[in-house]
Amino acid sequence: MEAIVKRLVDDVKDDLVFPKVALKAMKMIDDESTTAYDLADIIAYDPYLASSLLRIANSPFYGFSRKVENLYEAISLLGFEEVRKNIVTFTMKSMFRKADAYDRYIWEHSLGVAVSAPMFKDCVVCDLPLSTLYLMGLLHDMGKIVLKKLDYNGYMQILRKCYADNVWCAELEKETFGFTHADVGGALLEFWGLPREIVDVVVFHHGGSENEAVKLVRCCDALVNALGIGRPSPLGDVEGVVEMWDCKKISEKSSVEEKIKERVRAIEGAL
Ligand SMILES: [Fe+2]
Ligand SMILES: [Fe+2]
């Protein structure tokens, strides 16, 4: 199966390109000696990332009291963690073109899991930065975009069925292709050179292996589905998530739902 998945990724790698500048910036953020000037110099090479970062720094989402004039100021005010989150969110936004209702569902669902993972961090034992948890959530279903690119009609059928019958897409994918969006998503992220801990969460979010970060994303995935965020109707119920995950915060269903929806709306509005 591994060879098939690698070949499939080979077929889409020219369509789904993770910008070199974004990758370089992410590596620089992990390096403690990097300064805001260094990061600004690199991001300036990518006009889309640079203008998007300036726009969001000036948006009501951050609400800075003065106009942010340049990339250096934006990076200094936002901090490296927010810059990391934003550059990947901009990149993903351009890949999830939101051409049809399913793209919109997948995008909203991914944002829902992205904002939930840092929110419920205390329910697992995990010392990864909040921005990494956000990225794990944002990228966990990237494989669905890959499958849609590879076999548009075939995958649309699966998506239609999974939303109409309210079942997990991974089950239908496994029956149809013999692999899932988790497999192809993980392979693409690995090809891009994203950090191992993010790749592993993407590969294992529907099973196979578990560490605390995988557990966090898997449970947030189930929660966001149970709340009906990013899908036409809820999949499962919150009580079921509470049963599988001993996390007190999620039993406060209505406040949790409102918080997640509010954060998704705020990010969408700022992009
Ligand atoms: Fe998934
Ligand atoms: Fe998901």
Q: How far is CA 4 from the centre of its chain?
A: 24
Residue 218 backbone phi and psi in degrees, to 5: -60, -45
**How many Å lie between the centroid of ligand 2 and the Cα of residue 205?**
8
Q: Looking at the domain assignment, is residue 133 inside a domain?
A: yes
pLDDT exceeds 80 at position 186: yes
Read off the pLDDT of residues 223-241 as tens digits, 9 standing for 90 and up.
999 999 999 999 988 888 8
Residue 77 lies in a domain: no
12 is a domain residue? yes
Q: Are 82 and 100 in contact (CB under 8 A)?
A: no
Which ligand is in closest contact with the Cα of 106?
A: 2
**pLDDT, tens digit, 9 for 90 and up, residues 131-156:** 999 999 999 999 999 999 999 999 99
Residue 10 has a pLDDT of: 87
What pLDDT, on the 0 to 100 scale, is given for residue 239?
87
**Residue among 128, 60, 49 at smallest CA distance from 93:** 49
Q: Name the strand (E) or helix (H) holding 73.
A: helix 71-78
Q: Which domain range does residue 145 map to?
A: 2-18+97-270
Residue 31 lies in a domain: no
How many secondary structure helices (H) and strands (E) does the chain include?
16, 0
In a domain, 58, yes or no: no
The pLDDT assigned to 100 comes to 87
CA of 79 to the centre of ligand 2 (A): 28
Name the one residue in this structure whose structure tokens are 């010392």.
Answer: 127
Tell me the CA–centroid distance for residue 23 and ligand 1, in Å: 23
What is the predicted pLDDT for the residue at 252?
79
Q: Rounded to two decimals, what is the model's pTM?
A: 0.93
pLDDT digits (tens, 9 = 90+) for 29-72: 999 999 999 999 999 999 999 999 999 999 999 999 999 999 99
pLDDT digits (tens, 9 = 90+) for 4-25: 888 888 888 888 889 899 999 9
Kindly give the distance from the C-alpha atom of residue 127 to the centroid of ligand 2, in angstroms, as a whole number: 22
How many structural domains compose the chain?
Answer: 1
Of 205, 196, 98, 193, the C-alpha closest to 143 is 205
Classify residue 207: in a domain, yes or no.
yes
Q: Is 182 a member of any domain?
A: yes
Asked whether the predicted pLDDT for residue 76 surpasses 80, the reply is yes
pLDDT at residue 97 is higher than 80: no
Give the integer Cα–Cα distance in Å for 88 and 140.
13
CATH number, domain at 214? 1.10.3210.10
Q: Is residue 168 part of a domain?
A: yes
